[in-house]
């Protein structure tokens, strides 16, 4: 990259022409799930994507006696799903003296900007990947108990947690909390459909890991935690969740919200504590029993329980039969062409699966694009992810999932420049943004194996 001086014009050009392609490359490819999913910009209208779902066949068919009336005419049934865009940002700031000090030193400029850009890409990539495993609420951890005004323990068990019930986020502990570099606020379930969101950044400063729970040191959130309280990304400038009764989810939807058989609000609780809203639906379609929209449910397969049961009620050891039942769940309903194309799991379950396959003399590997190596199950790649949820394995039919987007990752430059002066300070900032959301057009084509012991 040629740079004759660290002028504002040269910095803007470098950010747009040199660093942006590298950022897109890393964010779109280094995260396996984000890399493999198709993109759709055609069906995005305004601030949402519109998906036409085929939900029912024409009933105007049937055998009749000679001379009998023909079957009544029918029609194909369709439902419109709406995928609202979500907005992610990365922000860097360069001081005036820093720019001036590197004016005549291209090497210093590169080192300074590289450090900021690479750090932002690393952090944004990690956060987007976390979101793609979530359900849109921005859950970083779940509260377990308070040991002092600045010390809090966080749930870490798949089931049997001492406070707040079991549900999404109960296994996280402090895995998403980076001491000194994380911002988070508490969300307290107040009963019924109400919540209270803290406005002050708790600024976690230390983490102590434990076997059954983790302990964090943080500032007093000035709220009274209770069973079911969870923590989300946020600070005084804004949080990943909004509202008090009609909840707004600001993060991207993830696998936990899509590959399940309930509405999104039911994910955060096992029933012992209230949800955050009533019938918070995926893409505007209610799938509760009363709605009749059972076709809008993914397949939830319980480990060790072929006859069914209740999620989070127990944990059982993984077997190859469990893997096969989850693999077959979608094609049994939809046809053989809907067999999973990708299997995602945490490291702890891959170790167990490798043992099972080796004992069964079925162990082999596949080479994926980008240099990734995966073991295979039924000829499909089994991929691990550091953000995968312990106790669960996802069997995805990738053609049913898409990243709907208004924009790819890009720098804000509507005023003609990537760099903007920070009002009242001798500094300049650049903002990276992406307007996109993960959506699904056939929820039943995806399955999850749950309640796995580890």
Q: How far is CA 440 from CA 36, 80, 169, 255, 261, in A?
A: 14, 12, 22, 10, 14
User: Could you give phi then psi for residue 153, rounded to 5 degrees?
Assistant: -100, 145
pLDDT surpasses 70 at 109: no
Q: What's the whole-number mean pLDDT along residues 233-246?
A: 82
Contact between 272 and 248 (Cβ < 8 Å): no
Contact between 184 and 177 (Cβ < 8 Å): yes
Mean pLDDT of the chain: 87
With pLDDT > 90 as the criterion, what percentage of the chain qualifies?
45
Q: What's the whole-number mean pLDDT along residues 317-325?
A: 98
- pLDDT at residue number 74: 85
pLDDT surpasses 90 at 192: no
Better-predicted residue by pLDDT, 379 or 58: 379
- Report the range of poorest mean pLDDT among 120-124, 228-232, 268-272, 359-363: 268-272
User: Distance between CA atoms of 249 and 239, rounded to whole angstroms?
Assistant: 10
pLDDT surpasses 80 at 403: yes
- pLDDT at residue number 111: 72
User: Distance between CA atoms of 287 and 301, rounded to whole angstroms?
Assistant: 17
pLDDT surpasses 50 at 4: no
Q: What's the whole-number mean pLDDT along residues 323-333?
A: 98
pLDDT surpasses 80 at 143: yes
Top mean pLDDT of 191-205, 367-381, 436-450 is at: 436-450
Alpha helices, DSSP H, located in 103-208: 106-131
What secondary structure letter does DSSP report for 253?
B
- pLDDT at residue number 2: 44
- Report the range of poorest mean pLDDT among 95-109, 207-221, 372-386: 95-109
Contact between 327 and 353 (Cβ < 8 Å): no
**Closest by alpha carbon to 240, among 167, 146, 135?**
135
- Residue 331 in tokens: 């094609």
pLDDT band at 102 (very low <50, low <70, confident <90, very high): low
Q: What's the whole-number mean pLDDT along residues 353-374?
A: 82
Better-predicted residue by pLDDT, 116 or 3: 116
Q: Which domains does the chain have, with CATH numbers?
A: 8-54+79-132+405-440 (3.30.2400), 137-250+262-291 (no CATH)
User: Distance between CA atoms of 217 and 231, rounded to whole angstroms?
Assistant: 14
3-state secondary structure of 36: helix
């Amino acid at each position: 990259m040629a740079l004759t001086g660290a002028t504002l014009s040269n910095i803007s050009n470098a950010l747009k022409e040199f660093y942006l392609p590298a950022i897109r490359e890393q964010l779109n490819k280094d995260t396996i799930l984000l890399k493999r999913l198709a993109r759709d910009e055609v069906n995005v209208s305004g601030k949402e994507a519109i998906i036409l779902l085929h939900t029912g066949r024409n009933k105007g068919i049937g055998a009749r006696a000679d001379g009998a009336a023909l079957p009544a005419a029918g029609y194909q049934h369709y439902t419109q799903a709406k995928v609202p865009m979500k907005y992610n940002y990365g922000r860097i700031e360069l001081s005036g003296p820093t720019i001036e000090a590197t004016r005549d030193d291209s090497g210093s400029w590169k080192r300074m900007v590289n450090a900021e850009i690479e750090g932002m890409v690393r952090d944004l990539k990690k956060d987007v990947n976390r979101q793609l495993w979530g359900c849109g609420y921005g859950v970083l951890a779940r509260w377990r108990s308070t040991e002092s005004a600045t010390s809090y323990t966080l749930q870490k068990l798949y089931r049997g947690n001492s406070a707040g019930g079991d549900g999404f986020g109960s296994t996280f502990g402090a895995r998403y909390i980076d001491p000194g570099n994380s911002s988070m606020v508490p969300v307290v379930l107040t009963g019924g459909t109400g919540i209270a969101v803290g406005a002050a950044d708790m600024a976690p400063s230390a983490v102590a890991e434990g076997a059954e729970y983790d302990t964090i040191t943080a500032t007093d959130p000035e709220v009274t935690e209770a069973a079911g309280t969870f923590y989300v990304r946020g600070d005084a400038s804004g949080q990943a969740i909004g509202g008090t009764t009609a909840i707004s989810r600001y993060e991207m939807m993830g696998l936990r919200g899509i590959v399940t058989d309930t509405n999104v609000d039911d994910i955060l609780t096992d029933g012992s504590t209230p949800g955050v809203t009533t019938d918070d639906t995926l893409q505007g379609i209610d799938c509760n029993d009363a709605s009749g929209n059972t076709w809008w449910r993914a397949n939830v397969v319980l480990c060790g329980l072929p006859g069914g049961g209740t999620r989070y009620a127990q944990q059982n050891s993984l077997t190859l039969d469990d893997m096969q039942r989850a693999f077959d769940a979608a094609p049994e309903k939809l046809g053989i062409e809907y067999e999973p194309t990708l299997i995602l799991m945490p490291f702890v379950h891959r170790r167990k699966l490798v043992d099972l396959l080796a004992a069964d003399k079925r162990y082999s590997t596949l080479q994926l694009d980008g240099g990734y190596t995966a073991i295979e199950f039924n000829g499909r790649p089994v991929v691990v992810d550091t953000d995968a949820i312990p106790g669960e394995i996802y069997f995805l039919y990738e053609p049913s999932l898409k990243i709907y987007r208004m924009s790819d990752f890009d720098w804000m430059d509507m005023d003609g420049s990537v760099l903007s002066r920070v009002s009242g300070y001798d500094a300049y900032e650049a903002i990276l943004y992406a307007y996109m959301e993960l959506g699904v057009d056939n929820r039943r084509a995806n399955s999850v194996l749950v309640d796995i012991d580890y």
